[in-house]
Structure 1
Amino acid sequence: MTIFSLYIFDRHCDCIYYQDWNRTRPLRAPSTTNFKPGVHRLAPAQPSQTAGTRESIFSSGFSSGGIGTGITKAGNAMGSGAGASQRGLPFDEEAKLVYGVVLSLRNMVKKLSGRDEPLTSYSTPHYKLHLYETLTGYRFVLLSDPSSDSLRFVLRQLYTGAFLEYVVRNPLIDMDSRTEGIDNDQFRSAVDRHMKSLSVFS
């Protein structure tokens, strides 16, 4: 079992933090116009930067990936040239796709159950998505190996531990910023240590 990546979304539906570990398809940098500093350690892609880009876990290589597959194929169809589908999505588009899948599934669960039941996870043959939502509107999304048990408790530990300590209580971080993400080396290191200490991490 292994852990692929972590996303944190704020109440404005923006991705404010991203980190990956055992990602099999490397991340493609976002375009310069959609670059939000502090979310991840990638520099924005230049207009001429096409060679050596990295694919998303949601790219067309996962043909039986369930819910994300149809959306991804449609997104790849908008790319230009024959190689567009092989390059995968830029980071900003991938983050929107992850949030869109979470939001759609939450609405579906609510309508099917008739109650406000929380979505905690879903799995495909290639990955498992774990979700933890806070009362303040933050959503922690973790992608892991499909054979892993629920890791929602890990996301809750991140929120009550490192997130509150290094982000919420940090006066230098604007918690309601629409222009930049969480650019905090202490938080990034704490998340990395926490994930690597888990028995499921490999």
Structure 2
Amino acid sequence: MTIYNIYIFDRNGTCLYYYEWNRKKQAGMSKEEEFKLMYGMIFSMKSFISRMSPTDYKDGFLNFKTNKYKLHFYETPSGLKFIMNTDLSVGNTRDVLHQIFSQIYIEFVVKNPMCRLGEPITSELFRHKLDNFVRGLPFFQQRVN
């Protein structure tokens, strides 16, 4: 099992933070283009699911799988979007993404007077805490190859 990367977007589609651990293949485009593509896909998926769902849309969009990876999604009430890509064997990470929001983002971005909300996160303390948290997860495994 492994975690490839994480994106944090604000409600306007600005990528506030990106970090990768075990990503082997790059997108072949600039990071800015990749961020726009990712946000657009998430926006479209949420719209599609809300319109096509045959049942109540209470939980919303949580994840999707391809034959190579699994994308996990968590959105806060304020519209922050946390996206984590993992391998296929990782189960639901909704609680993990919520913990990243409540225990790391809130503590080390929102409560940090040096961080400005709505601007890219450059805090080394945030990066360090997030990295330690993710590396401590039972399904994190450093890929060898």
SS of 1:24's equivalent in the other structure is: coil
Corresponding residue to 2:81 among 125, 129, 139: 139
Which residue in 1 is equivalent to 2:138? 199
Residues of 1 paired with 2:40 and 2:89: CA distance? 23
Kindly, what percent of the aligned residue pairs are identical?
Answer: 36
Residues of 2 paired with 1:165 and 1:192: CA distance? 15
Which residue in 2 is equivalent to 1:18? 18
2:113 maps to a residue whose letter is P
Corresponding residue to 2:52 among 112, 116, 130: 112
Residues of 2 paired with 1:91 and 1:129: CA distance? 18
Residues of 2 paired with 1:9 and 1:19: CA distance? 12
Which residue in 2 is equivalent to 1:91? 31
Count of residue pairs the alignment pairs up: 139
State yes or no: 1:152 paired with 2:94: yes
* Shift of residue 154, structure 1, vs aligned partner: 0.8
Residues of 1 paired with 2:118 and 2:15: CA distance? 12
State yes or no: 1:123 paired with 2:59: no
Q: Output one character per residue of 1:86-122: Cα deviation in whole Å (capped at 9) or x when no partner.
A: xx11111111111111111111110012644410000
Give yes or no for contact 2:16–2:118 (8 Å, CA) kept in 1. Answer: no
* TM-score, normalisation: structure 2: 0.91
Which residue in 1 is equivalent to 2:9? 9
SS of 1:198's equivalent in the other structure is: coil
**Uncovered stretches (5+) of structure 1, i.e. residues with no partner:** 26-54, 57-87
* Shift of residue 151, structure 1, vs aligned partner: 1.1
* Shift of residue 147, structure 1, vs aligned partner: 2.1
Which residue in 2 is equivalent to 1:182? 121
1:23 maps to a residue whose letter is R
- CA-atom RMSD in angstroms: 1.2
Matches within 5 A, 1:12-51: 12-25=12-25
* Shift of residue 146, structure 1, vs aligned partner: 1.7
* Shift of residue 159, structure 1, vs aligned partner: 0.5
SS of 1:142's equivalent in the other structure is: strand
Q: Look at both structures and tell me which one has the larger radius of gyration over its CA atoms.
A: 1
**Uncovered stretches (5+) of structure 2, i.e. residues with no partner:** none
| Structure with the largest fraction of strand | 2
